[in-house]
Amino acid sequence: MEKFGKVDEYLSVRGIKPSYQRIKVFDYLIRYRNHPTVDTIYKELVGEIPTLSKTTVYNTLKLFHDKGIVLVINIEDNETRFDADVSNHGHFKCIKCGEIYDFRLEAENLNLPDLSDFKIDEQHIYLKGTCPKCE
């Protein structure tokens, strides 16, 4: 994951003090790139960090989101997921296996009409269906 350089430096540069917990959470996000929920992150890390609390995971992800280094993914109404890839891309969720795939989104692919007076800050494209493995 050279793209991020050393994680503590990546965080520092963006005004986030690189605490042990924050480094581990961010490291998890970029290592697995699996669009995890808070619960997934917590369960994965608590083995390594026995004192970890979910509150800290919530705090950390909120901070990351405020600082613009993670995206919040609301593709399903009963689970909030997170993504450290903040580039412009879309998400596809397979309704059979539950896997979430990323796909590239070129600007010209989204030529939205009559929104000239709207200032667009965020753009989320969510698709649902069946992935090649499950078809």
* Exposure string over 37-53, b if 16+ CB within 10 A, otherwise e: bbebbbebbeeeeeebe
Residue placing its CB nearer to its own copies in the complex, 2 or 122: 122
Q: Which stretch binds DNA (CB under 7 A): 26-34, 58-66, 108-116, 117-125?
A: 58-66
Residue in the structure block whose two tokens are 């997921």: 81
Among 28, 129, 44, smallest CA distance to 82 is for 28
Quick check: 35 binds DNA (CB under 7 A)? Answer: no
Residue placing its CB nearer to DNA in the complex, 33 or 65: 65
Among 87, 19, 27, 99, smallest CA distance to 59 is for 19
Quick check: 111 binds DNA (CB under 7 A)? Answer: no
Residues in the interface with DNA (CB under 7 A) total 23
Quick check: 14 binds DNA (CB under 7 A)? Answer: no
Please report, as ranges, the residues that interact with its own copies according to CB under 8 A: 72, 74-77, 80, 90, 92, 95, 101, 103-106, 108-115, 117-132, 135
- Determine the straight-line distance between the first and last CA of the chain, rounded to whole angstroms: 31
> Pick from 47, 55, 68, 133: which binds DNA (CB under 7 A)?
55
